[in-house]
Chain A
């Protein structure tokens, strides 16, 4: 944590690019919470990298005065892993939607989690594809198409037909998934509960290792679930021991209660710490002595 001389404020963190999100979109709340976290921890924005995938949520990095990386759909985690491994001094936020995280990029999640690279992965879960205008996603509940608030009238037709099959497909359970994948930090926040979200994010950033934070971030345009989540959302039971993985699983499976908070957190050596133990002091990019001795091994 490098502190700048003057105290960092939200104004410093807001970039010249205005968010393009629809009014009321849950992602605004997440953006605020992330900025507050940076300020709360007084992180030096020059040492913060925001790596995102594609989607409404993927636009995130452009809105923050920090280093940003807007990748391709689904690959935020590997891009971010490369960033963190190459420069472990950076605090790396990884940002994306549920499509990014649990569909196209789902193959990367287990590996980022088990490697335990120190990344804070914030999945803005709106249970719908926002940017492509309202198709069901991997976290869409079965009745998604009935519920979807289609502001764009003409879209409703497009969202029926074979897409109705979404109703027969079970959604994934991101928290249970992350627990199964050996993530060392698993939490759920809600953009409608900014204070709690801020607290979770602070702990997640401080956690040394991979943290998955599923943030319920409703899409006011295609699937406005604010009311639904407001009714269901509740803090995790006060007596929940967040080092108890089995308990965390049990709570994750209670779908009728949307628990917010840290389900699970354990300390495990991070990948980059392990790497650091293996490697020698970094050499200059021109290291003729080392290369010469390597070549020497091949002399006849």
Chain B
């Protein structure tokens, strides 16, 4: 009896994991569920399974203790609900589950197609442990070796909130082809200690590879393929405990078919500053490598293999590094900033690199001072910038308006993090869009750009400075935590192709006739720089005349407001011609995906997958969010019936913008905007996108109910 019960439990758990349905969570604990409620749950499950979910939705909602916030896709399990099903422990429920399994209806099915998941021809390796454990060292060295060996890499890392200790994750996806996202599953887990195992083992895919330090933990037989390596023991034998990390790296190289010589090169380059220790370090690496070869040479995990022939040139670089170099390439010679995760690395990079270029960096007392100093420096003639994250950007808004009013060129990078308030400094989000577009008193014209890959961080910074200088306006660049911290292999950057724009200088006159805010057709007026003889003017935050003197007359405010906004309209024309948007996929598709920023990689990957499965979709990504390339977007909307908008925020900010701006096309063509929100601090996985594409495809084919998404 007992045996049967546990069998049932195991089975129910397994099925529950796969159960594609929706259950409200019950915060009071499932044990307290009444029979009546259990019965409702079962109804909900059944209803979902046989496609009549909608009829029960209202009732299900009424019995829920919380509103439906956790699920975004009708008929999909919200992760939390699994636990509820499991712990219900009701014989009746188990019966239903068994029934569902027998009838085979518990798998999502549509025209024989299942949602594509997996990592394709790449592998995802996750390393987890205490922050002092050298997880990051292991990860970084491994990634550099993989890149040197000719692979493409894409990392993801989370930082602990604590300075010392706390849990760190370093994840690397490596492949022979360009890696576009974090992937869906974890193929291999590297656990340095029990905690690293406990925290991540549930995310390791079934049958995945588990590599661990056998001196630290003895994991049970959990259905994964185990590769214990006695890392601690080997280090002890060498009497070099600090070599533990390299022993682990060595064994990883052997396990994933990476050449030891490349490992040696990287260690020499990275740790060469301790020449006395270099032989010991290299020895550690070699011992880890040998151990794996000797013990597992016969049964290595499947891996991606190495590319043959000439390796193309690649940079291994993070988003913030690429952005900083982009700024320097664009001519930025003044940086003012205040430390804030995840923008700090950008500031530190600028602090190191600016002096060599004759540029200046200053760490200010707060973000208000940072933006103000940047504005002051730009007024005095320097190309200037600041970078921050949401809380700091919020402090900068008054001065942003001032730069807009006084028409001073300025670049502000907002590396978005999850909020509001202090929120989750080390987690990602795309939720500052409204702040970037609209924040400030009255209407302060500005530009908003969003890089969509590490490589693009470089290019958007160049764009940002060019726009700022040309139009004498603040430009906000929206990056995000995941994009800023991840390291990617990117193609070499052709500096010869870069064109820089400088601000319009006035003809020298000394008779006092210079008009700083001259009304022009484009809205752009020549800008004098202090030091030019006799071209006096005041950069005036009050409404002003053409000469820059305070002036509140209705005519002046009207014409100056128009002048400032006209610059955006002028830029809108230019934007259509700049490479600030991408449209790709099946141009005849009825399903469109529109987005911005760092979700693009996951979308590209998802699109490739669903297209291979004959679902027709097309995507449009814009890197210029203000102004928008309207003409291109309107053309894209032609013939679409549904537009999926994936975003890392709750309200669907970009979806709102689209609905607002292209309302006419949307209504005329009967386009449905399907908002795909994600607000867990983590980036999109391709499978998140695939799922919704499938849903929408089914919906358009008239097979299922409308995709239900939380209110905008």
Contacts and interface: CB of A to CB of B under 8 A. Distances in A.
Interface of A: 15-17, 45-47, 49-51, 54, 59, 61-62, 65-72, 75, 77-87, 89-90, 107-108, 110-111, 275, 278-288, 290-292, 294-295, 298-300
Interface residues of B, number: 77
Contacts of B512: 16, 65
A275 to B, nearest CB: 6
Contacts of A66: 536
A287 B357 contact: yes
Contacts of A281: 358
A59 B530 contact: no
B530 A87 contact: yes
5 contacts: A15-B536, A66-B536, A79-B376, A82-B379, A108-B365
Given A81-B373, A90-B531, A298-B316, A292 B495 contact: yes
Interface string B359-385: 110101110111011111111111110
A41 B77 CA distance: 78
A275 B159 CA distance: 33
B355 A278 contact: yes
B530 A70 contact: no
Given A72-B398, A300-B314, A47 B383 contact: no
Given A15-B536, A80-B376, A280 B357 contact: yes
Interface stretch (B125-133, B183-191, B323-331, B425-433): B323-331
Given A68-B539, A75-B399, A85-B360, A46 B365 contact: no
A167 B382 CA distance: 46
B530 A46 contact: yes
A70 B542 contact: yes
B541 A298 contact: no
Given A90-B531, A111-B364, A72 B541 contact: yes
Nearest to B151: A300
Contacts of B144: 300
B549 interface: yes
A283 B357 contact: yes
A282 B315 contact: no
A295 to B, nearest CB: 6
B502 interface: yes
A46 B378 CA distance: 17
Contacts of B406: 69-70
B446 to A, nearest CB: 16
Contacts of A90: 380, 530-531
A59 to B, nearest CB: 7
Interface pairs A-B: 4 shortest CB-CB:
A82-B376, A285-B331, A68-B538, A282-B358
A291 B328 contact: yes
A57 to B, nearest CB: 14
A18 B330 CA distance: 41
A131 to B, nearest CB: 11
- Consensus secondary structure, chain A interface: mixed
B321 A61 contact: no
B290 to A, nearest CB: 25
Contact of A62 (B368, B376, B380, B550): B550
A260 to B, nearest CB: 30
Contacts of A295: 315, 325, 492-493, 495
B376 A285 contact: no
Given A75-B368, A107-B365, A300-B315, 4 more contacts: A47-B530, A72-B372, A87-B530, A110-B365
Nearest to A109: B365
B531 A87 contact: yes
A249 to B, nearest CB: 24
Contact of A285 (B314, B402, B500, B538): B500
Interface in B615-657: none
B574 interface: no
A49 B530 contact: yes
Nearest to A287: B357
Contacts of A70: 406, 538-542
B334 interface: yes
A72 B376 CA distance: 12
Nearest to B334: A86
A75 B331 CA distance: 26
B340 interface: no
B489 A300 contact: yes
B699 interface: no
A285 B373 CA distance: 19
B336 A298 contact: no
A45 to B, nearest CB: 7
A193 B342 CA distance: 52
A107 B536 contact: no
B354 interface: yes
Given A70-B541, A75-B399, A83 B376 contact: yes
A86 B540 CA distance: 19
B357 A71 contact: no
A77 B375 CA distance: 12
B531 A47 contact: yes
Contact of B381 (A16, A81, A86): A86
Given A59-B550, A280-B357, A298-B317, A291 B539 contact: no
Contacts of B537: 67-68
Nearest to B368: A75
B358 A69 contact: no
Contacts of A282: 333, 357-359
A54 B541 CA distance: 9
B353 interface: yes
Contacts of B369: 75, 77-78, 81, 108, 111
A190 B626 CA distance: 50
Contact of B380 (A59, A82, A294): A82
B356 interface: yes
B539 to A, nearest CB: 5
A282 B382 CA distance: 11
A65 B536 contact: yes
Contacts of A299: 313-316, 492
Contacts of A291: 325, 328-329, 495
